[in-house]
């Protein structure tokens, strides 16, 4: 399943959920006031002058980084209220933290996902924060600063009565998954491993939407649901105030199964911006702020320890 289809599949199930945020999105070309500090997830983040000095001259002059994002895609980007423009989400909170650290505003503006990279190439945006998979094809036209590894996750009912801890524990059991997704392919590929282990095959139950699969899980028709790990973490965090589901954490696949790097996409015309963002992101990792942001959205396990550049080798 490609990134665009995965994005809209997850959105269909999760778009109604949102949290409070700091400020609204708007015109990326509108004037911006400077940002010397901000409070994100209860952490006061102050401008680091040395990092600010690394920014390109035009970014410092404008006082902002123009950021494209495709909304909604929970838990990375969401609207606080349907029909309004105020944003929230992991990427948005991270943008506010990076902006405060660099002493500029990260000005988010909605952009359809398949138009994000072309818009950066055209100079409409400086960067994009939209849970974008870092891959070799995209690296040809933009640079990435990578901040997470995300793949497929396993959702179970609260308390995990089936004692599911790995994909192997799904062998011989009924498992829900959305049709025509990478997660369905993952389950099909795992059937051989079930056979070699002397266990029965996974009884795969497909559904048109993730929300339909979750209804089957709630009702006990299946023991687990496989979906993207960030989506699974968000559902576990928010459904019935966190009392409906649990996210299975397999230590051997902390970012999820078949995890790939996600990154902030940045114009190749602004290498100084890439360098500044990479160093600011690493600072937020080192002081624990980034983990607090991830934990707010139930996906702390997909965070990486190092802010790498163009990490994907595929």
Instruction: For 265-312, write each residue's pLDDT tens digit.
Output: 999 999 999 999 999 999 999 999 999 999 999 999 999 999 999 998
pLDDT category of residue 36 using cuts at 50, 70 and 90: confident
pLDDT, residue 90, reads 97
Instruction: For 176-233, write each residue's pLDDT tens digit.
Output: 999 999 999 999 999 999 999 999 999 999 999 999 999 999 999 999 999 999 999 9
146 touches 175 (CB < 8 A): no
Residue with token string 């997850």: 10
68 touches 107 (CB < 8 A): no
Instruction: For 85-113, write each residue's pLDDT tens digit.
Output: 999 999 999 999 999 999 999 999 999 99
Is residue 1 scored above 60 in pLDDT? Answer: no
Residue 199 CB-density burial (10 A; 0-12 exposed, 13-18 middle, 19+ buried)? middle
Is residue 58 scored above 80 in pLDDT? Answer: yes
pLDDT, residue 19, reads 37
C-beta neighbour count of 3 within 10 angstroms: 18
Instruction: For 124-133, write each residue's pLDDT tens digit.
Output: 999 999 999 9
Query: Kind and range of the H or E element at 283?
Result: helix 271-286
C-beta neighbour count of 137 within 10 angstroms: 9
- Residue whose C-alpha is closest to residue 77's, from 95, 92, 96: 92
Q: Which domains are delineated in the chain?
A: 3-150+260-309 (3.40.190.10), 151-257 (3.40.190.10)
pLDDT, residue 35, reads 58
Tell whether pTM > 0.85. Answer: yes
Q: Mean pLDDT in the chain?
A: 91
Q: What angle do CA 121, 293, 15 make, to 5 degrees?
A: 70
């Amino acid at each position: 399943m490609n990134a665009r289809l995965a994005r809209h599949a997850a959105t269909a199930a999760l778009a109604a959920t949102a949290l409070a945020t700091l400020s609204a999105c708007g015109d990326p070309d509108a004037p911006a006031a400077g940002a010397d500090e901000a409070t994100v997830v209860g952490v006061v983040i102050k401008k680091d002058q040395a990092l600010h000095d690394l920014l390109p001259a035009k970014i410092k002059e404008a006082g902002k980084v123009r950021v494209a994002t495709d909304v909604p895609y929970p838990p990375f980007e969401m609207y606080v209220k349907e029909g309004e423009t105020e944003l929230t989400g992991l990427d948005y909170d991270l943008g506010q933290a990076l902006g405060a650290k660099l002493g500029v505003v990260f000005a988010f503006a909605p952009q359809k996902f398949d138009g994000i990279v072309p818009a950066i190439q055209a100079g409409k945006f400086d960067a994009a924060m939209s849970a974008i998979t870092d891959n070799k094809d995209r690296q040809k036209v933009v640079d990435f600063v990578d901040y997470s590894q995300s793949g497929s996750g396993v959702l179970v009912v609260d308390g995990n009565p089936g004692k599911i801890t790995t994909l192997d524990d799904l062998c011989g059991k009924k498992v829900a998954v959305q049709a025509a997704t990478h997660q369905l392919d993952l389950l099909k590929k795992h059937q051989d491993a079930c056979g070699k282990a002397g266990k029965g095959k996974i009884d795969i139950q497909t559904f048109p939407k993730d929300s339909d699969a979750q209804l089957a899980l709630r009702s006990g028709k299946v023991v687990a649901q496989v979906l993207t790990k960030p989506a699974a973490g968000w559902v576990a965090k928010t459904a019935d105030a966190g009392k409906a589901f649990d996210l299975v954490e397999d230590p051997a696949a902390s970012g999820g199964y078949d995890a790939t790097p996600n990154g902030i996409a940045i114009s190749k015309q602004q290498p100084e911006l890439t360098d500044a963002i990479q160093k600011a992101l690493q600072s937020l990792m080192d002081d624990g702020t980034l983990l607090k942001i991830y934990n707010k959205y139930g996906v702390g396990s997909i965070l990486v320890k190092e802010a790498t550049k163009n990490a994907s080798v595929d």
